[in-house]
Amino acid sequence: MTAPTESTQTTPGETLHTPVIAWFDAHARDLPWRHPEAGPWGVMVSEFMLQQTPVNRVLPVYEHWLTRWPRPADLAKEAPGEAVRAWGRLGYPRRALRLHGAAVAITERHGGDVPSEHAQLLALPGIGEYTAAAVASFAYGQRHAVLDTNVRRVFARVVTGVRYPPNATTAAERKLARALLPESERTASRWAAASMELGALVCTAKNETCHSCPIAGQCAWRLAGKPEHEGPPRRGQTYAGTDRQVRGKLLAVLRESITAVPQAALDHVWDEPVQRARALDGLVADGLVEPLPGGLYRLPLTSPLTSPPTQPST
DNA sequence: TACTCGTGGGT
DNA sequence: TACCCAAGAGT
């Protein structure tokens, strides 16, 4: 057809929903957490792992994780350090700690079932606005604005006509996402997944492939000649020489070791003692590392998220 | 609000 | 090579 037939009522995003969802049905990746058997727990685990980590690196860890801990209660029974160890090299290991804490909370407060209400999801450790909406939408088919970096970029281009969205999510973006949300629950949840996938596969940050885009004909940015990004430079991340790098090296040693590690083994991963000590202190403060008497360190057996550390008086 | 928090692959 | 980027959360 060349023109949409007249409808009794139109919603703002109607001309976007149909082509994007049709594109999604034809081109969506076959990812394990999109299978029905993944269930809400599988969806939730995938969302934690996908926070700032690419799909390809998540896949093997996800499979291992769900095999080992098929239900929240299975993970809740483990020491948090085991979650950190199984997290491997996904990065941002505090996510592993929070996922473990979320499993404990789900077991204690929700009878072992991932809650379906947005507010209850939001109350779990490691779940913010995006993840709560994503789990409610993808796992339970609810109608929520799921505003991740991919969707923000798609909206910035198609609607606003700029190459990149603002550095931090704005109220205007949330309002736009709500306005573009399809009316029906089913269509809204499909739209959430489809618009994310479009940003991940076609409307990418660099080397976007507009010739494959189902809504290229109505993209404000493309129609404006794809102007370059204006405004403040997008915040880059330096890494070499930072505390994050030192923390990563320290934690890698502890992940590889089944037994507690002596201070000397940690000392040799970084030669600058002040920064090294600061990084280790930070890991301990975050609950990612547990200090033992005698200058030994190990991954944590107790959780900083669920049980306040009880200090036995000497 | 702006900053911290890992890791590795692509360009 | 050095930089850029990847389904954010917490403070």
Q: With bands split at pLDDT 50, 70 and 90, how would you rate the model's confidence at A9?
A: low
Q: Are residues A213 and A280 in the same domain?
A: no
| CB proximity A31–strand C (7 Å threshold) | yes
**A58 and A185 together in one domain:** no
B4 nearest neighbour residue (CA to C1'): A244
Which tokens is A214 given? Answer: 């189902």
Does the annotation mark A47 as catalytic? Answer: yes
DSSP state of A139: T
Chain C footprint bases within 7 A of protein beta carbons = 3-10
Q: Is the CB of A132 under 7 A from strand C?
A: yes
Is residue A45 within 8 Å of A67, Cβ to Cβ?
Answer: no
A47, A173, A197, A290: the active-site residue: A47
Protein A271 CA to nucleic acid B2 C1', in Å?
Answer: 30
Q: Kindly report, residue by residue over A171-219, the tens digit of the pLDDT.
A: 999 999 999 999 999 999 999 999 999 999 999 999 999 999 999 999 9
Residues A126, A178 share a domain = no
Whether A304 shows a pLDDT value over 50: the answer reads yes
Residues 241-300 of A with CB under 7 A from strand C: none
Nucleotide nearest A193, from its CA to each C1': C7
Tokens of A263: 């201070």
Q: How far is CA A35 from CA A5, A40, A46, A167, A250, in A?
A: 34, 11, 12, 33, 37
Q: Report the nucleotide nearest the CA of residue A51, measured to C1'.
A: C8
Residue A311 is assigned to a structural domain of this protein: no
Tokens 């080397």 sit on residue: A207
Q: Is residue A5 part of a domain?
A: no
Pick the last residue of a domain from A161, A193, A223. A223
- C-alpha neighbours within 13 Å on the C-beta side of residue A93: 29
Is A100 found in the same domain as A57? yes
Give the sheet arrangement for strand A261-262, strand by strand: A261-262, A296-298, A290-292
CA distance A90 to A60: 10
Q: Which amino acid does the sequence have at A306?
A: T
Domain with A128, as residue range(s), is 32-138
Q: How far is CA A269 from CA A80, A92, A263, A295, A303, in A?
A: 24, 19, 11, 16, 26
Q: What is the mean pLDDT of chain A?
A: 93
Whether A309 is covered by a domain: the verdict is: no
Q: What would the pLDDT profile of A129-164 be if each residue is shown by its tens digit?
A: 999 999 999 999 999 999 999 999 999 999 999 999
Residue A307 domain-assigned (yes or no): no
| Integer Cα distance of A10 and A74 in angstroms | 47
